[in-house]
Amino acid sequence: MSAFSATPVIIDGKGHLLGRLAAVVAKQLLAGQKIVVVRCEEINISGSYMRNKLRYANFLHKRHIVNPKKLGPFHHRAPSRILHRTIRGMLPHRTHRGAVALEHIKLYEGCPPPYDLKKKMVVPAALRVLRLKPGRKYCTVKRLSHDFGWGYRDVVDRLEEKRKIKAKAFHERKTAAAKLRQKAVQDQASSYQTLTTHGY
C-alpha cells in the first residue's frame, strides 16, 4: 500500500492480525488515503481465546468514576468498532489532523454492497499466516464479540452465505463466457489473418 490512490482502498479483513492491520491502516490514513475494511468479524487476535477473553473482561471494568454513561470509556462489542478503537489509539485523534484522518475510514461486518462487487486487497505485513509462528494460538474477533454481547453474528453469517453463493454463480458465468470467447477466437483465427492481409 505504498502508492497513493484517489479511490478508496478496500481491504478484506479476514485472516489479518488486529494490531498489525490497525498500524498499517493508521499510517495510510495520516497520509490522506481513504480506506474501507470489510469482514471485520474475521480479523484474528494473537494469543489463546481464553487469554483474550480475560483481557477484554478486564477492560470492561475500566470506567469513569463520575458519569460512565456520558464520559466513557465506552466498551464497544461490534468487531468493526473494536477495530475502529484500535486504529483511533494509533492516531492523534484529538488534533485536527488526526480527526480528519479518522473520518477517512469505513469499517463493516460482512461485505455489504457495493463492496461485494469490488476488488479487495490484503496487507501482507499483517496476515496471520505470514506473521504468526505456526502452532501459535489465536482467536477471531467474531467469537470474542459474540461472547461479550454482540448480537449480530448469526445475521452476518447468514448474509455472508448468500453473498458467497451469488459470487460463486457469477464466477462460473464469467469463466464460461471467457472459455466461449477463447474458443471463438481460435475458431476464427484463419479469418483474422485474411482480414489483416486486407488492411483491417
Round to whole Å and give the CA distance between 24 and 12: 14
Kindly state the cell numbers that stand for 101.
Answer: 484522518
> Tens place of pLDDT for every residue, the chain, 200 residues?
667 888 999 999 999 999 999 999 999 999 999 999 999 999 999 999 999 999 999 999 998 888 888 888 999 999 999 999 999 999 999 999 999 999 999 999 999 999 999 999 999 999 999 999 999 999 999 999 999 999 999 999 999 999 999 999 999 999 999 999 998 888 877 777 777 777 77
pLDDT of res. 97: 96
pLDDT of res. 60: 92
pLDDT of res. 7: 92
3 state SS for 66-126: CCHHHHCCCCCCCHHHHHHHHHHCCCCCCCHHHHHHHCCEEECCCCCCCHHHCCCECCHHH
pLDDT of res. 68: 84
